[in-house]
Structure 1
Amino acid sequence: MGAWDIGHFDNDTAADFGGRVDDADAEKKADVLREVLAAVAGTGGEDYADGEEAVAAAALVAAQCPGGEPVTTAYGPKEPLPPLPADLRPLAVRALDRLTAPNAEPLDLWADAGEDQAWLAGITALRAVLVAAPGE
């Protein structure tokens, strides 16, 4: 049975992504996040599976920012991440912006399910943390 809910890791694709982050060597974990975020930031955010991974990656980046919520779900990475580079923050913001743009597939799917406002609230909170974080 698959998982699907509005939490950043509450779907099968994001949970699998959490496992992929765990499987990466410590020095490659940031690269795994960067790859997923760049794929969505550089497109129209049209592939929902990529979007689920990008939201999870953004949540991991935001967790290391002041005011960020720790990722404590059983579906996220089991191992703590090393400090992530600050340049992932604006990349995560661009990815989130693509996913919430008019006609973006994730936003349309959440609207079809009647959960778009709840999903957007979570994305807005992530974005606010990422934007407010000081540069390094």
Structure 2
Amino acid sequence: MGTWDVGPFDNDTAADFCGDLDEAAAGEREGIIRGTLSRAIDTARYLEAPESEEAVAAAALVAAQYPGGVPADPVYGPEEPLPDLTGLRELALQALSRVTTAPSELMDLWAEPDGGPWRANIQRLQNTLLPQPPGGTAR
């Protein structure tokens, strides 16, 4: 596993996923992201790290379109424009929940004491994606 940091795009799998999005036709990108999130959610067996890393990257792309969301990594994120992904909020939240629920290889890999920053990044994505109460402020 080629991982160089704790962010959602800081691994080879996420970078490849974003490259695949760039190569896809514009009208297919939302479906690819939706499918990636759904596959993670629907995996009852052990969720392998590559599927988790793609799901985290996909969820980060959704979160980037919400107030307080962090834009995709300028080097490893997609270069081509993405459609409106805000309709995928619930899927993104469910996928992040699945990635952090056993059995999950990525959760196991970041279970070490130094995995705290990775877990904090996942929590930040979840907080960005949580619906805001009426009249509420961004978290």
Report the CA distance between 1:78 and its aligned residue: 1.0
2:84 is the counterpart of 1:83: yes
Letter in 1 for 2:116: Q
Q: Given that residues 48 and 105 in structure 2 are in contact (C-alpha distance below 8 angstroms), is that contact kept between their aligned partners in structure 1?
A: yes
Listed as ranges, the matches of 1:91-110 within 5 Å are 91-110=91-110
1:57 is aligned to 58
Q: Give the deviation of 1:109 after TM superposition.
A: 0.5
Work out the number of aligned pairs and report it. Answer: 132
- For residue 38 of structure 1, what is the aligned residue in structure 2? 38
Unaligned runs of 5+ in 2: 134-139
Counterpart in the other structure of 1:129: 128
Consecutive unaligned residues in structure 1, runs of 5 or more: none
Structural RMSD (CA):
1.9
TM-score by structure 2 length?
Answer: 0.86
Distance in 2 of aligned mates of 1:36 and 1:133: 25
Equivalent residue number for residue 69 of structure 1: 70
Write the distance in 2 (CA, Å) between the matches of 1:85 and 1:5.
26
Matched-pair identity in %: 49
Structure 1 residue runs of 4+, over 4 Å off? none
- Paired residue type of 1:58: A
